[in-house]
Amino acid sequence: MSHRYEFARAAGEKNLVLIFTEGLFESLPFEVRLAACWTGHGYGNVTELKAADRRALLGSGYAIMHETTDANVTPTSAPDNANVPAYVGLRQAA
């Protein structure tokens, strides 16, 4: 597994960020790739991510996150016992 990740921003919703394992954009689920028009591009080391973000990335190979105003990035999924949509009908948070 790669120790690096790539990220892209949604063109219409600049605070929406997709992070995924480096070089694997084309292997992401179809629904994720089409959830937004992903633009911009960058790289980073997985070890520099917050623990929750790292778990989300390592669990499925990608994570869709909302960037907050204080420049922290948090997963779109809800707390453990909440039942709200994660994003664009991808899946419900358990």
Q: Across the 94 residues of the chain, what is the mean pLDDT of every consecutive 10-residue run?
A: 83 88 91 89 88 85 79 45 39 40
User: What's the number of domains the chain is made of?
Assistant: 1
What's the pLDDT score for residue 38? Answer: 92
Predicted TM-score (pTM) of this structure: 0.66
Does residue 92 lie in a domain region?
A: no
Within the chain, where are the H helices? Answer: 30-33, 51-60
Does residue 15 lie in a domain region?
A: yes
Does residue 26 lie in a domain region?
A: yes
What's the pLDDT score for residue 41? Answer: 82
Does residue 55 lie in a domain region?
A: yes
- What token pair was written down for 47? 């070890």
What's the pLDDT score for residue 89? Answer: 37
Cβ-proximal residues to 67 (8 Å cutoff; 6+ apart), any chain: 14, 15, 16, 17, 73
- What token pair was written down for 34? 């089409």
Does residue 90 lie in a domain region?
A: no
What's the pLDDT score for residue 7? Answer: 92
